[in-house]
Amino acid sequence: MQLFSVFLSYILTKINKLNKKDIIILGIESSCDDTSAAILKNTAILSNVIASQKIHEEYGGVVPELASRAHQQNIIPVVEAAIKKAGIDKSQIDGIAFTKGPGLLGSLVVGTSFSKAFAMAMNIPMMDVNHMHGHVLAHFIDDEGKGKPSFPFLCLTVSGGHTQIVLVKDYLDMEVIGSTIDDAAGEAFDKSAKLLGFPYPGGPLIDKHAQRGNPLKFEFSKPQIAGFDFSFSGLKTSILYFLQKQIKENPQFIEENLDDLCASIQHTIIAILMKKLKKASKELGIKEIAIAGGVSANSGLRKAIEEHAQQLGWKTYIPKFEYCTDNAAMIAITGKFMFDKQIFADQSIAATARLEM
């Protein structure tokens, strides 16, 4: 009799889980230098906790070994904080989504191992998420008063490691139609910032100074690349030679022209990005346009997208600031779409530094 009632309660719990309306997903992101955990209820975010690693600033870039050690220290407190902030109990979590790649392997391993252990302990499914899918699907997180893109749409995904134009046909059906052949747009910002003497990551600092500068003061070379692809390595070289020449004549050149330099560099990077985005929109006949990734936090790029929307009749989608740079909310929403389709990973899953869309 006792065995029967245990069996009955087990079946009822299972049925309850299958029938229950609300799905709660824990998302984990650890691909680079941010340890993040988020709790998603259906398509609404209940919490999105991010521990950024300051340690890399003094090195001028992310040091992989230091990043994985910091993830190891941060992961449990960050997950606990996300659960607490969401006001749920961990037994309510229906599935765990984590970044499988692309990213720094040592960093990815921390999030992946944590997720495997959590899934096993809680007896819940896990979803292995492509970080780049996450950036794109951040647009489907509920945000009051903001619409969500309709398929198909184009997403300019610009981060520290990637620069892509993605043709998004469905939640989990995406095609990269253009990408950088060398540096990413975020790298172009960060490397230019380093030449100006800014700490890492310099992108947000260029953005800040650019707001006070003249974008047309200095002209830098723009690449001529076929199709929808990008190139940014030439820009860095062109800035380097320009600065070397100017500093020879005036050692104070950077300090005296900082705002104009930032505005002109930012203007050039945005012009390179917008040229290809416009070309893709025109050739594919798609006017639903989104931006995603860390560089989509850039105020100049956000403004350029809005201006093009007015001129070209685009319907544009710009993510909330907190969902632009790396975060677990975007991993959780991607995991939710995988959960709905029952696309689950098993315990043999491993992190992958390189992962195609």
Q: Which residues bind ligand KG4 (CB under 6 A)?
A: 32, 159-161, 186, 189-190, 201, 203-204, 207, 293-295, 297-298, 325-326
User: Could you tell me the smallest distance in angstroms from the CB atom of residue 325 to ligand KG4?
Assistant: 3
Please give the order of strands across the beta sheet that includes 95-101: 44-52, 34-41, 24-29, 95-101, 126-130
User: Could you tell me the smallest distance in angstroms from the CB atom of residue 48 to ligand KG4?
Assistant: 13
Integer-rounded Cα radius of gyration of the chain: 22
Nearest residue by C-beta to ligand KG4?
294
User: Could you tell me the smallest distance in angstroms from the CB atom of residue 193 to ligand KG4?
Assistant: 7
Which residues, at least 6 apart from 293, have a Cβ–Cβ distance to it below 8 Å?
135, 157, 158, 159, 162, 186, 324
Q: Which CB sits closer to Zn ion, 258 or 331? A: 331
DSSP states of 63-111: -HHHHHHHHHHHHHHHHHHHHHHHT--GGG--EEEEEEESS-HHHHHHH
Q: Which CB sits closer to ligand KG4, 33 or 128? A: 33
User: Could you tell me the smallest distance in angstroms from the CB atom of residue 274 to ligand KG4?
Assistant: 14
Q: Which CB sits closer to ligand KG4, 124 or 132? A: 132
Q: Decide if 269 contacts 235 (C-beta within 8 A).
A: yes
- Binder of residue 60, out of ligand KG4, Zn ion, none (CB less than 5 to 8 A by kind): none
Q: How far apart are CA 197 and CA 226, in angstroms?
A: 33
Which residues, at least 6 apart from 1, have a Cβ–Cβ distance to it below 8 Å?
none
User: Could you tell me the smallest distance in angstroms from the CB atom of residue 203 to ligand KG4?
Assistant: 2
Q: Which CB sits closer to ligand KG4, 152 or 204? A: 204
Residue 211 neighbours by CB distance under 10 Å: 12
Q: Which CB sits closer to ligand KG4, 178 or 293? A: 293
What sign has the CA pseudo-torsion 157, 161, 163, 168? negative
- Binder of residue 201, out of Zn ion, ligand KG4, none (CB less than 5 to 8 A by kind): ligand KG4
Which residues contribute to the site for Zn ion (CB under 5 A)? 159, 326
| Ranges assigned E (strand) in 244-349 | 288-292, 315-317
User: Could you tell me the smallest distance in angstroms from the CB atom of residue 331 to Zn ion?
Assistant: 10
User: Could you tell me the smallest distance in angstroms from the CB atom of residue 346 to ligand KG4?
Assistant: 26
Q: Which CB sits closer to Zn ion, 159 or 180? A: 159
Q: Which CB sits closer to ligand KG4, 201 or 213? A: 201
Q: How far apart are CA 333 and CA 337, in angstroms?
A: 7
- Binder of residue 192, out of ligand KG4, Zn ion, none (CB less than 5 to 8 A by kind): none
Q: How many CA atoms lie within 13 A of 170 on its CB side?
A: 5
- Binder of residue 319, out of ligand KG4, Zn ion, none (CB less than 5 to 8 A by kind): none
- Binder of residue 289, out of Zn ion, ligand KG4, none (CB less than 5 to 8 A by kind): none
Q: Which CB sits closer to ligand KG4, 95 or 201? A: 201
Q: Kindly report the CA angle at 46 between 42 and 50, in degrees rounded to 5?
A: 120
- Binder of residue 204, out of Zn ion, ligand KG4, none (CB less than 5 to 8 A by kind): ligand KG4
Q: How far apart are CA 340 and CA 123, in angstroms?
A: 17
User: Could you tell me the smallest distance in angstroms from the CB atom of residue 306 to Zn ion?
Assistant: 23
Q: How far apart are CA 288 and CA 156, in angstroms?
A: 11
Helix axes 253-284, 203-210, angle to 10 degrees: 100
